[in-house]
Amino acid sequence: MMKVSGATAERIARNLFARDRSKQLLDAPTAVADICNRIAANFKSKLGGVGGRCELSAPVVVTGSGAQCRALAAGESLHVCVSYQGLPVSVTLDIE
């Protein structure tokens, strides 16, 4: 799960779709989903032989300030907070 503000999502889209300005604001959710895919794929590649048994779900983008998410299965979580061009980004990987 990746949590970002609307301003962060727009900045990600602006940088990801730098060549196509018409997509930048309309595709902020698509840009966030793409970054989630990249993070998850990178994590999976680091698992070595175990990665073959690892399944990734398709990204789901939820907008709004009242959204709450929880993992359906009990397991471990890895939570990281980082800054992207001065804007906060929160990433959580749920591991079963």
The pLDDT tens digits of the residues spanning 30-51 come to 888 888 888 888 888 887 666 5
What residues have CB less than 8 Å from 8, skipping those under 6 apart? 84, 87, 88, 89
Q: What is the pTM of this model?
A: 0.71
Which tops the pLDDT comparison, 78 or 53? Answer: 78
| Confidence at residue 5, expressed as pLDDT on a 0 to 100 scale | 87
| Confidence at residue 75, expressed as pLDDT on a 0 to 100 scale | 74
Check residue 87 and give left, alpha or beta (phi > 0: left; psi -120 to 50: alpha): beta
Q: What secondary structure, in 3-state letters, does 1-52 show?
A: CEEECHHHHHHHHHHHCCCCHHHHCCCHHHHHHHHHHHHHHHHHHCCHHHHH
Which tops the pLDDT comparison, 35 or 64? Answer: 35
14-41 average pLDDT score: 78
